[in-house]
Structure 1
């Protein structure tokens, strides 16, 4: 039946008139199988034209036609256009086509919804978003959008990414940037086969890129981020202006000079607060002690509230306002902290950074605004102290997964300077656990587990302590304690003061600790830290292998075995060393005690595609070793 329908459909497509002479052919079956295979949607045409009018404004017009092949692709049928005080939406148009490419509907005003795009943590933002979509339940279908925006925020030029998501294919897409006389375009190309063509059109310079027949790109396990795998053109200004603040972006230094203009005169501290700061530090001996004391003073006095309006997205509130109101966003709190340190004679820098677990890399050779956050950097003779000013609980100097191991732009008096934040090695991120277990002849037992989590390994539990009540903490522990069967009798989580460490103590009931078979007990000595999976082997691996985090785990488990039992069978010691990490485990009897010790060290890094098999084999070996059992047998008399 399905074959007959497809044959009929194909005949209709071949013999049908071109319904409207000039109507483009958006019939779904005209898509090549090379593009539709593995795709949920296919972009038929995308035309992006970015026209820079002056250093103060630009317009962008986008026409996009996408065929939605199935239910999983319906997200590509929705148009989302953000706007704010500096960016407005001029118009949005839309047309719906059925599977034959025949017009089936038009986007109406009621199909365009307008929502606030304010962050949960913001007190007020002017960010809004228009969301457009035409309902259609029969697949495949095609939606065509055309819209235009006008921007007065020329710090940012547009970024072109024709493959805008996974399981998306592209038939044809073009990108055109039109620059006025005397204004050069700066751009950075990634995985673009056809480089920019540049032509003169009257007084304007026109830059153009084009791609055709892009099949879906699939990520691989432990592979690069999707954004690294697709064609991408980033553009940026040489000269720009935002609400009267002019600057240049040709160097990191000049970017910092522009930020200095925004910050100028916003670091004044009231005299009463100055006196408090001086009294706070007068008996402290070292600069490090003074920094920590002032940081804690700021944390106790303020809270994080985001207010983003116009130029306020990049310009901090005055330090005096933060001092009186007791709140501010990352820019305002960092500016305030810097001003407090200045009172004590301590030099520091306002620092732009891209914060987040994804650790998006900064393009060092392409200066532009690649940042979403602000912190403070305090230079010291040996190591700088980095201060996260939005958290009342963060430890001075700890950057962690949010701001560690990446580039930051220091805003110095001379301008911007790109520097690295601290890198975390395996022994900076430690989980060290000791467990005492008492096992009985029925296979059940009780135990006490003491674990110290350090560095990045402490962050999750520190978040649990900060944001969850005791009942929620207990639920979280049940969900995240990796024992086949257990009951938590009591627990305690404790954050170590002024250090990125959380201590965890669990009193455990272990009802099925060992399997019983006649006179034998079968026990897996690795109680709480078993590696349980490995990705599939891919003989045709295409992309680099990325291990995302360095860490070091140590588990020591001591079992008191039942009287009258002895070890009948024990696994041999295991030691494995690879480019990705090291593993070792051993179990031995010491009198009536069964002692198990396991260590796993993993190193963050990028490796060649052909090393993927080595990683898979390593993880499989670790998983097998973690599941090995000890057989205890009752002694016969």
Structure 2
């Protein structure tokens, strides 16, 4: 019987990394104390000296329990890394059982006055915090951390869930000198694994454990041991505009592929995409849930059958959004039964969207579940069906000959959009014998527009005017949601930009989700006066003041999520007795990636400035980063240009 199944070609048969020393807990090496900086990342505020994990199966009266042991040692160089002494251990639970953590031990070592001080972690400083129905954490912070401290902890997690063989992250937000994960496999469970971010291991070793073997149900066996190690792992630079750190960190993921029973038969777990689809379609909280939802939909939505397909689709989505509340939890399957969901009128994304699919089928529309991974969960690959990488479900619907991805979790989201958290690569269509995927994207651009009408009040030495703003697409969704949840937040944002609101903000289309979100208000604002000159900023702090692309270099692709753009229009009346001293010149940039237009014109006693820019793609390669940064340097510089008005000299009339 196999104890592990390889999904990658093993090219790592290299000598074991000699830095993988056996470390005794609580006993430092002289090199740990003397370490002043990370040799391969000298500006790092701390370094992981080593991080070792070990997963193995423990015999119990009922079979096996998974045990995971971790031992980590960290050197602190300065105050910026004091938070490295804060730890959280995530633990899973369900209605029947839970993972438990035990044997948490830790020390902070400080070298003071020629002596090594050892301060232990006290049990009273370990806390438990509930996250949601299925997750809780153990949290603790190491004591007395200073410059030069060495932190060391170890703990064990006991899990009754054989599906939850621990994954391992070799990379964190500080550099790691050595990271090693050991898995001890037994012949009764087979797992596939996937390595991300590393083409080879610095240390890989596999062997059968020697010594006295073990027995289960009268079958003797020895553990097969697999060791994975990486040395000198750089810190992960969490760059802006990326999909998720989970897409890029160096890590290894495991997926149960087979159970080999002592009685001599085996059970396969989703070894192909059609297998995974079949497994889901037969699962109580997925396929069977769908069938119950469809039966419910036949009774509930019979009145829609005479409408057009598009109208049926919108009616079902509107009903689901109004009648049911998303509880904030993601899931590719339903978390509660269909009966409980209808009693509480609330559930996770699986409850809501699987019910929606059932209802759409009930009104005669072709609708299929599409399982995806949300942005914070990382992208999925079609290389191998790792079901645990998926954490959400959408509906793929055909209406009036057009295919659409829809979601019913957010009542503020228009029916032609899915939440931006779902725009993450592609999704797997769950149908019988399916190997089909759908790309998740949105081709419509989201625009934010500001239109200013400005008068210069010389007597009170201030600008006064009216702002009319509107947004579309995802920008409208974001603003509509923020305003709906906190009506004062929008006013505070303008006040922080120097606006004095003469009246309350007048909001238009707050609940008309398919229309642009609009608002307007009258205001006053300051300007600069230097001797006989007025210095006016035409967009008065509305345009971006700084380039959002701040890094000098970029290693990762740029992910803007969706197409977006901004437009600013300002009309300024020139006060009597003043003339234009300086007016910004017009400028434009247009290529396959971006667009920028800046037009300055004078019509009579009015100046009109129109500035707009947009990104023509949602995703750009790292190689295009320099061009994007230069583009936004131009945009921010130009949109923040000043107009200078000079007082006209009074004519002296000779008597």
* TM, length-normalised to structure 1: 0.82
Contact 1:555 1:597 in 2 (8 A): yes
Within a 5 Å distance, the mapping from 1:249-288 to structure 2 comes to 249-262=270-283, 263-266=286-289, 267-268=291-292, 274-279=298-303, 281-284=304-307, 286-288=308-310
> Which of 406, 431, 447 is matched with 1:412 structurally?
431
Q: 1:586 to 1:272 in 2, by over 3 A?
A: closer
Name 1:334's counterpart in structure 2: 353
Contact 1:554 1:600 in 2 (8 A): yes
Name 1:25's counterpart in structure 2: 29
Do residues 478 (structure 1) and 496 (structure 2) align? no
Name 1:64's counterpart in structure 2: 72
Within a 5 Å distance, the mapping from 1:400-479 to structure 2 comes to 400-414=419-433, 417-424=436-443, 428-442=445-459, 443-468=461-486, 473-479=487-493
Q: 1:33 to 1:44 in 2, by over 3 A?
A: closer
Within a 5 Å distance, the mapping from 1:273-422 to structure 2 comes to 274-279=298-303, 281-284=304-307, 286-305=308-327, 314-356=333-375, 358=376, 360-368=378-386, 369-380=388-399, 382-414=401-433, 417-422=436-441
Do residues 47 (structure 1) and 52 (structure 2) align? yes
Contact 1:395 1:500 in 2 (8 A): yes
Shift of 1:418: 3.0
Name 2:563's counterpart in structure 1: 550
Q: 1:418 to 1:323 in 2, by over 3 A?
A: same
State the distance in 1 between where 2:226 and 2:82 align. Answer: 33
Shift of 1:547: 5.4
Segment of structure 1 superposing worse, 546-555 or 217-226: 217-226
Contact 2:191 2:255 in 1 (8 A): no
State the distance in 1 between where 2:166 and 2:243 align. Answer: 23
Shift of 1:131: 2.0
Do residues 129 (structure 1) and 146 (structure 2) align? no
Shift of 1:43: 1.9
State the distance in 2 between where 1:390 and 1:536 align. Answer: 32
Name 1:627's counterpart in structure 2: 640
> Which of 579, 596, 613 is matched with 1:583 structurally?
596
State the distance in 1 between where 2:64 and 2:71 align. Answer: 24
State the distance in 1 between where 2:99 and 2:359 align. Answer: 38
Contact 1:196 1:207 in 2 (8 A): no
State the distance in 2 between where 1:403 and 1:199 align. Answer: 39
Q: 1:567 to 1:28 in 2, by over 3 A?
A: same
| Counterpart secondary structure, 1:265 | helix
Q: 1:206 to 1:419 in 2, by over 3 A?
A: farther
State the distance in 1 between where 2:332 and 2:418 align. Answer: 23
State the distance in 2 between where 1:240 and 1:513 align. Answer: 73
Q: 1:273 to 1:535 in 2, by over 3 A?
A: closer
Contact 1:385 1:396 in 2 (8 A): no
Q: 1:134 to 1:164 in 2, by over 3 A?
A: same
Q: 1:404 to 1:42 in 2, by over 3 A?
A: closer
Contact 2:26 2:152 in 1 (8 A): no
Name 2:534's counterpart in structure 1: 521
State the distance in 2 between where 1:295 and 1:399 align. Answer: 12
Q: 1:538 to 1:456 in 2, by over 3 A?
A: closer
Task: Give the count of matched residue pairs.
Answer: 593
Stretches of structure 1 that go unaligned for 5 or more consecutive residues are: 1-19, 119-124
State the distance in 2 between where 1:574 and 1:154 align. Answer: 62
Indicate the RMSD between aligned Cα atoms, in angstroms: 3.6
Shift of 1:389: 2.4
State the distance in 2 between where 1:474 and 1:22 align. Answer: 54
Segment of structure 1 superposing worse, 429-438 or 101-110: 101-110
State the distance in 1 between where 2:564 and 2:151 align. Answer: 47
Q: 1:494 to 1:152 in 2, by over 3 A?
A: farther
Shift of 1:574: 1.0
Q: 1:496 to 1:349 in 2, by over 3 A?
A: farther
Shift of 1:287: 1.0
Name 2:9's counterpart in structure 1: none
Shift of 1:313: 8.7
State the distance in 1 between where 2:606 and 2:381 align. Answer: 56
State the distance in 1 between where 2:515 and 2:160 align. Answer: 46
State the distance in 2 between where 1:521 and 1:97 align. Answer: 61
Contact 1:354 1:360 in 2 (8 A): yes
Stretches of structure 2 that go unaligned for 5 or more consecutive residues are: 1-23, 210-221, 261-265
| Counterpart secondary structure, 2:409 | coil
Do residues 507 (structure 1) and 529 (structure 2) align? no
Contact 1:399 1:422 in 2 (8 A): no
Describe the superposition over 1:445-489 as per-residue Cα deviations: whole angstroms up to 9, x where unpaired: 332222220112112211123312xxxx23433315785443342
State the distance in 1 between where 2:538 and 2:106 align. Answer: 64
| Counterpart secondary structure, 1:288 | helix
Shift of 1:240: 6.2
State the distance in 2 between where 1:498 and 1:35 align. Answer: 55
Within a 5 Å distance, the mapping from 1:574-613 to structure 2 comes to 574-577=587-590, 580-604=593-617, 607=620, 609=622, 611-613=624-626
Describe the superposition over 1:514-535 as per-residue Cα deviations: whole angstroms up to 9, x where unpaired: 63642x4332223454232237
Q: 1:479 to 1:137 in 2, by over 3 A?
A: same
State the distance in 1 between where 2:580 and 2:328 align. Answer: 61
Name 1:94's counterpart in structure 2: 105
Contact 2:451 2:569 in 1 (8 A): yes
> Which of 191, 194, 203 is matched with 2:201 structurally?
194
Name 1:16's counterpart in structure 2: none
State the distance in 1 between where 2:550 and 2:295 align. Answer: 66
State the distance in 2 between where 1:68 and 1:288 align. Answer: 60
Shift of 1:579: 6.1
Q: 1:370 to 1:251 in 2, by over 3 A?
A: same
Describe the superposition over 1:554-610 as per-residue Cα deviations: whole angstroms up to 9, x where unpaired: 222222322344434322211124665221111111122211111111244555655
